[in-house]
Amino acid sequence: MRHRMGMIFQHFNLLGSRTAAANIAFPLEIQGISGLQRKARVDELLELVGLSDRAGSYPSQLSGGQKQRVGIARALAAGPQVLFCDEATSALDPATTEQILDLLKRINQETGVTVVLITHESEVVRRICDSAALMANGRIVEQGPLLELVADPNSQLADILLPTGDPALDPEQRSMVLTFTGSHTAEPIISGLTRHFGLDVAILGGSVDWIAGQKVGRLRVALTHPDGFYDRAAVHQYLIEREVSARL
């Protein structure tokens, strides 16, 4: 089972006395792989992570991003089916984080290895995850395909990834959260509520971002009518027909 899993660490955990190539070769040595086979595999992995020209460099001669690339190659050396990334980008600057996340996404697409990210960074989840599980106090609170989670108006993870502001800041406003996905993010839903139902729409907060390759938006709005009331069922149906989910 252990040979089916690779591990990437937050602080790289490279052997300082070994070159980049030798660090990558280490798990293959433990498995008793022959020298020629090891070299071929190491060369392949160095090319995959973009470090063919740094094979002979020691960890002290590498940047943080380069060290993590060596760590990724080492984790892939034995051909795992699952790659665990424990806060793999937490020690990196934003630009390097993007590069490492793009590399992990490409590795997933090109090799078919499953990448499991353990992270507190919402940007990491937004950028490359297809599915997610939210944990609190050691328990899984919710899990599932990421787009399904953010489209759920009651999702706690959606509130983290696409915050809409604290409703307690506007206690006098009876607000609702609207969630748009895909092409619907470009539709004039708000102006449609005004035209069709004569509503005044106050936007109290919101976010729009790319999640799992799709554009997703969430708005916290307050709806009012000059007469003091409106047909809530009709408004709800209008939103459903446009695939907009709503939460009071």
Q: pLDDT value at position 142?
A: 96
- For residue 33, what are its two tokens? 């792989």
Residue 35 lies in a domain: yes
Structural domain range at position 75:
2-129
Rounded distance between C-alpha atoms, residue 169 and residue 221, angstroms: 13
Model pTM greater than 0.85? Answer: no
Domains contained in the chain, number = 2
- Is residue 164 situated within a structural domain? yes
29 with 119, same domain: the answer is yes
Q: Assess whether 124 and 180 both reside in one domain.
A: no
pLDDT digits over 29-39, tens only? 999 999 899 99
81 in the same domain as 179: no
pLDDT tens per residue, range 76-131? 999 999 999 999 898 889 999 999 999 999 999 999 999 999 999 998 999 999 99
Answer yes or no: do 166 and 118 share one domain.
no
> What CATH number has the domain bearing residue 121?
3.40.50.300
Strand bridging mode 214-224 / 175-181: antiparallel
| 168 and 114 part of one domain | no
Is residue 37 assigned to a domain?
yes
Q: Taking residues 151-168, report their average pLDDT.
A: 85
